[in-house]
Structure formats: C-alpha cells, structure tokens
C-alpha cells in the first residue's frame, strides 16, 4: 500500500495572545494520498489557514507529528525548513502576489533564481510551466495587461515551476468571477490527474469545493466531518 504524501497525527498549533493561549488547531489527524485534490472548508477562525501554513512549511507545529513525503516536519527548522519548502511546496494565493514591474515570465522565474540552475534551464522550465497553464503567448505581458484569471494562472505557473509534489491554495478563486473561477478549478483538477500533484485548497465556496476529490470541514481547530463532493 502506498504511503500517504501527508500524514498528521495529533497535530496541534497554539500561541500566546497576552495571557491567553489560543489554539487554532487541536490534535488533528489527517492523511492525504499522493495525487488527491482535497478541499478544506469551515468558518473564519476554524484553523484552515493555520493547517495550510503548517503543510506549506511556513509555520511549525507546537506538538504532534506532521510528515510530508516521508519527512518529519517538526524536525526541520530555519534554513533547512526553507530549503525543503522551496523544493516541495508551491503556494497559490487568493490575490496572486505577482510583482507588477515584472513580466509573467519573470514572475514565474523568481523561485528558480534561488536554485543552482543556468539561464537556459530556467528558461525551459518557465516556458514549460506557462505552457501548462495555457499562457505561453502571454509570457512577456505584465500583470496589469492580464485578466484576473490570467494573473492567477501565472501564479499557478510560479507555484509549479520548481516541480513540487504539493500545492497549497488559499482561496484561489475568491477574487475571480464565476467563469474564471471554473477555469482555474478545472486547471487544478488537471494537475492532479495529469501531473499527479497533491493539492490542498482552503475555500469558503461550496461550488469550488465540488471540484475537489474530497472535502473536509474544520471548526475550532478540529475536523468534524467529510463533506460529499
């Protein structure tokens, strides 16, 4: 039996807010197989983004066990965690976070500038990523010259360019019209089916969650139920 790409056991995150201890995630158990498209739903403050940040290596657990692709994440800190994140995770944001003065090509190339790659290999990887999101003909356009849906495709290409096994997406369709949102969700589905990427997506939109293979509901830091999609 294939091991899951993501395995959480009693995963907990807490922090201090004055004299109060806040626990956005409490003893969460979760397994996500490779190639699954998982949606996370729940009210604001339910722990969705906290979980996403732990999976992405942006934050570290307070206790419990988190394993991704066979790596125990609680043992990785500082530079080793940053190096792992750069190779294993692509993050897709709601508001794209593209740099306005850089072209689509240059925005997608940014993660590769941290790697020991030559100019030719970087170019090949960027062109391949932009082709994958159907934007090869827009690589020299700046963000202001693109639609919202196209900007999000550039952001997805940027998340893909280092070929990470895991993509995490925080409300990736939240700032898009319905047609553009459906196009982005179709693209994400194709990445799991054709590229075998594992995707964990936070969303408040039930229609977006329907695109996923599975939907889990969080409330007050705990998984409550699986929602049929």
Per-residue pLDDT tens for 107-127? 999 999 888 889 999 999 999
Which residue segment(s) compose the domain that 110 sits in? 36-57+79-227
Place of tokens 């732990």: 54
Which 3 state secondary structure label does DSSP give 116? coil
pLDDT tens column, 122-160: 999 999 999 999 999 999 999 999 999 999 999 999 999
Is 180 part of a structural domain of the chain? yes
Is 171 part of a structural domain of the chain? yes
Mean pLDDT calculated for residue range 199-211? 92
pLDDT bucket at 223, cuts 50 / 70 / 90: confident
CATH number for 193 = 3.40.50.300
Residue 184: per-residue pLDDT: 92
Is 153 part of a structural domain of the chain? yes
d(CA 5, CA 201): 15
Is 22 part of a structural domain of the chain? no
Other Cβ atoms less than 10 A from the Cβ of 148: the count is 17
Of residues 129 and 1, which shows the higher confidence score? Answer: 129
Mean pLDDT calculated for residue range 203-216? 92
Contact 105, 130 (CB under 8 A): yes
Mean pLDDT calculated for residue range 159-174? 92
Does 10 score more than 90 pLDDT?
A: yes
190: left (phi over 0), alpha (psi -120 to 50) or beta: alpha
Does 202 score more than 70 pLDDT?
A: yes
Is 191 part of a structural domain of the chain? yes
- Domains of the chain: total: 1
Q: Which of 159, 96, 148, 86 is nearest to 126 (CA)?
A: 159
d(CA 5, CA 140): 35
Does 227 score more than 80 pLDDT?
A: no
pTM of the entire structure? 0.89
Is 47 part of a structural domain of the chain? yes
pLDDT tens column, 58-105: 888 889 999 998 888 877 777 888 888 888 899 998 888 899 999 999
Residue 1: per-residue pLDDT: 45
Residue 226: per-residue pLDDT: 62
Is 125 part of a structural domain of the chain? yes
Query: What average pLDDT does the chain have?
Result: 89
Other Cβ atoms less than 10 A from the Cβ of 141: the count is 16
pLDDT bucket at 175, cuts 50 / 70 / 90: confident
């Amino acid at each position: 039996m294939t091991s899951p790409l993501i395995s959480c056991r009693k995963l907990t995150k807490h922090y201090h807010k004055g004299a109060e201890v806040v626990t956005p995630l409490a003893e969460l158990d979760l397994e996500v197989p490779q190639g699954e498209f998982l949606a996370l739903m729940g009210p604001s403050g339910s722990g969705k983004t906290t979980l996403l940040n732990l999976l992405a290596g942006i934050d570290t657990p307070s206790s419990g066990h988190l394993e991704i692709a066979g790596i125990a994440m609680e043992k990785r800190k500082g530079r080793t965690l940053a190096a792992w994140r750069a190779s294993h995770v692509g993050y897709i944001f709601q508001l794209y976070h593209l740099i306005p003065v850089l072209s689509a090509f240059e925005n997608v190339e940014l993660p590769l500038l941290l790697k020991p790659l030559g100019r030719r290999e970087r170019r090949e990887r960027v062109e391949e990523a932009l082709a994958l999101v159907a934007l090869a003909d827009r690589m020299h356009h700046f963000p202001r010259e693109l639609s919202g849906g196209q900007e999000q495709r550039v952001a997805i290409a940027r998340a893909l360019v280092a070929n990470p096994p895991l993509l995490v997406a925080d409300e990736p369709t939240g700032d898009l019209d319905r047609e553009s949102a459906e196009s982005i969700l179709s693209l994400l589905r194709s990445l799991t089916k054709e590229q075998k990427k594992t995707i964990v997506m936070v969303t408040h939109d039930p229609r977006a969650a329907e695109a996923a293979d599975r939907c889990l509901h969080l409330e007050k830091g705990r998984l409550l139920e699986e929602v049929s999609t």
